[in-house]
Amino acid sequence: MLMSELNTEKQTKLIDPFGRTVDYLRVSVTDRCDFRCVYCMAEEMTFLPKADLLTLEELDVLCRRFMAAGVRKIRLTGGEPLVRRNIIQLIESLGSEVKAGNLDELTITSNGSQLSKMAGDLVAAGVRRINVSMDTLDREKFRRVTRWGDLDKVLSGLDAATDAGLDVKINAVALRGENDEELGDMLAWCGERGFDMTIIEVMPMGDIGTENRLDQYLPLSRVRANLAQRFTLTDIPFRTGGPARYVKVEETGQKLGFITPLTHNFCESCNRVRVTCTGQLYMCLGQDDNADLRAALREGGPDALDASIYEAIGRKPKGHDFIIDRRQSGPAVGRHMSVTGG
Ligand code: SAM
Ligand code: SF4
């Protein structure tokens, strides 16, 4: 479809039944990844057939329909978004809307493996900030947690990102017995580099093979208490509309976020929805209800896509009900985070 065929006229905003305005879209551009993090994927993953994936053009149309409906911020995620072939084309297209003032921000969540080669192109395309997931600074642990990842490659990627002028935030999943002792050192390391950091609780999403989530789960209340012995953490009102609560680390001046979907409810301020790489729109990360935007777009075109988006926002649920406990150690939500996007 040609871009000129698209109706770019502004539509009414996306407001859900609870009065929340949806202005933030997270898009998973691929379910594939060059890592196999133990909490995210099984080592032997079956990925979706390529024909099921939205093409880059379809992803572009979809993002633009959301923008016409008031979305101001888009995050590309995955799987590993930067391993999708020619992804820079989509980034350049959406980045041009940032430059034109039609989008406040285009951000990416990445494992950092491709940053050495891509950081400069991302900045040129209009990306200003990037979240890089890194759970440890120890080479062996990094290999154990990611199974296939190479810490040195990610570290040089971070150098390239800094050199290119990207604002970096480090995402670390708190893993019991793996990085609990190390998070303080990571926070100090982030401080030295001027990186903000967010620590994430393990979420029960997708079958991860032989790993057991009960073994991985580490409540962030404990993490915070440990960090508070070494750092002065001051609560700050900074909010992104998402599940993170932030503190300022007085010793470094950087922000530290805690994402605690299991111990806290963050739903009342939720401003976001997620689209999978196959075009399923999930109105809530923790619920299964979804809308098939790919079918709407392929069968009915952009107008049908619009109708499907508005109809789906009309049933955005009030909140999620994640739970990890002894009776239910399987996934509360069957799909993997790499499908919905983190
Ligand atoms: N591959 C990219 C990356 O790792 O940043 C983007 C996709 S990844 C699914 C997005 C985020 O979700 C990462 O920060 C990752 O650590 C987190 N994540 C994946 N599975 C998770 C789980 N079960 N619980 C909590 N966080 C998870
Ligand atoms: Fe890949 Fe990110 Fe999942 Fe790790 S967390 S396996 S890097 S998608």
Q: What is the mean pLDDT of residues 290-296?
A: 98
Give the rounded percent of residues in the chain with a pLDDT score beyond 70.
86
- Ligand 2 atom closest to Cα of residue 149: 7
Q: Say if residues 53 and 62 touch (Cβ distance below 8 Å).
A: no
Q: Where are the chain's structural domains?
A: 21-340
Residue 339 banded pLDDT, cuts 50, 70, 90: low
| Substitution candidate for ligand 1 out of 34, 38, 45, 109 with most atoms within 8 A of CB | 109
The gap between the terminal CA atoms of the chain, to the nearest Å, is: 29
Which residues surround ligand 1 with Cβ inside 6 Å?
Answer: 33, 39-40, 77-78, 80, 109-111, 133, 171, 173, 200, 202-203, 205, 337-338, 342
Q: What is the mean pLDDT of residues 156-164?
A: 98
Residue 255 banded pLDDT, cuts 50, 70, 90: very high
Ligand 2 within 6 A of CB of 36: yes
Q: What is the mean pLDDT of residues 83-107?
A: 97
- Cα of 203 vs centre of ligand 1, distance in Å, is 9
Residue 2 banded pLDDT, cuts 50, 70, 90: very low
* Bridge partners of residue 25, in order along the sequence: 74, 273
Q: What is the DSSP letter of 21?
A: B
- Cα of 306 vs centre of ligand 2, distance in Å, is 31
In this predicted structure, what is the pLDDT of residue 328? 47
Q: Say if residues 174 and 223 touch (Cβ distance below 8 Å).
A: yes
Tokens of 299: 């069968």
Tell me how far apart the alpha carbons of residues 333 and 191 are, in angstroms, rounded to a whole number.
35
In this predicted structure, what is the pLDDT of residue 244? 84
Ligand number nearest to the C-alpha of 257: 1
- Kindly tell me if the per-residue pLDDT of 280 is higher than 60: yes
- Kindly tell me if the per-residue pLDDT of 16 is higher than 50: yes
C-beta neighbour count of 155 within 10 angstroms: 17
- Kindly tell me if the per-residue pLDDT of 38 is higher than 50: yes
In this predicted structure, what is the pLDDT of residue 242? 75
| Substitution candidate for ligand 2 out of 27, 28, 32, 36 with most atoms within 8 A of CB | 36
- Kindly tell me if the per-residue pLDDT of 5 is higher than 50: no
- Cα of 303 vs centre of ligand 1, distance in Å, is 33
Tell me how far apart the alpha carbons of residues 5 and 116 are, in angstroms, rounded to a whole number.
37
Higher pLDDT, 207 or 121: 121
Chain centre to alpha carbon of residue 201: 14
Give the Å distances, CA to CA, from 217 to 209, 222, 254: 16, 11, 26
| Substitution candidate for ligand 1 out of 40, 260, 272, 335 with most atoms within 8 A of CB | 40
Q: For residue 260, give every residue at least 6 positions away whose Cβ sits within 8 Å of its Cβ, in sequence order, or none.
A: 201, 219, 220, 221, 243, 245, 266
Give the Å distances, CA to CA, from 17 to 65, 283, 319: 20, 12, 12
- Per-chain mean pLDDT for the chain: 89
Sheet architecture: strand order including 280-282: 233-235, 244-249, 255-259, 196-200, 167-173, 129-133, 105-110, 73-77, 24-28, 272-275, 280-282, 290-292
- Cα of 185 vs centre of ligand 1, distance in Å, is 21
The CATH number of 21-340, from 3.40.109.10, 3.20.20.70, 3.90.700.10, 3.30.70.260, is: 3.20.20.70
Write phi, then psi, for 80 (nearest 5 degrees): -100, 110
Look at ligand 2, atom 8, and give the residue with the nearest C-alpha: 79
Tell me how far apart the alpha carbons of residues 76 and 43 are, in angstroms, rounded to a whole number.
23
- Kindly tell me if the per-residue pLDDT of 326 is higher than 50: no
- Kindly tell me if the per-residue pLDDT of 30 is higher than 90: yes
- Largest separation between any pair of C-alpha atoms in the chain: 59
Written as one letter, the residue type at 232 is T
Ligand number nearest to the C-alpha of 286: 1
- Cα of 165 vs centre of ligand 1, distance in Å, is 24
Q: For residue 36, give every residue at least 6 positions away whose Cβ sits within 8 Å of its Cβ, in sequence order, or none.
A: 42, 43, 45, 146, 147, 148
C-beta neighbour count of 70 within 10 angstroms: 15
In this predicted structure, what is the pLDDT of residue 254? 98
In this predicted structure, what is the pLDDT of residue 217? 84
List pLDDT tens digits, range 139-159. 999 999 999 999 999 999 999
Q: What is the DSSP letter of 196?
A: E
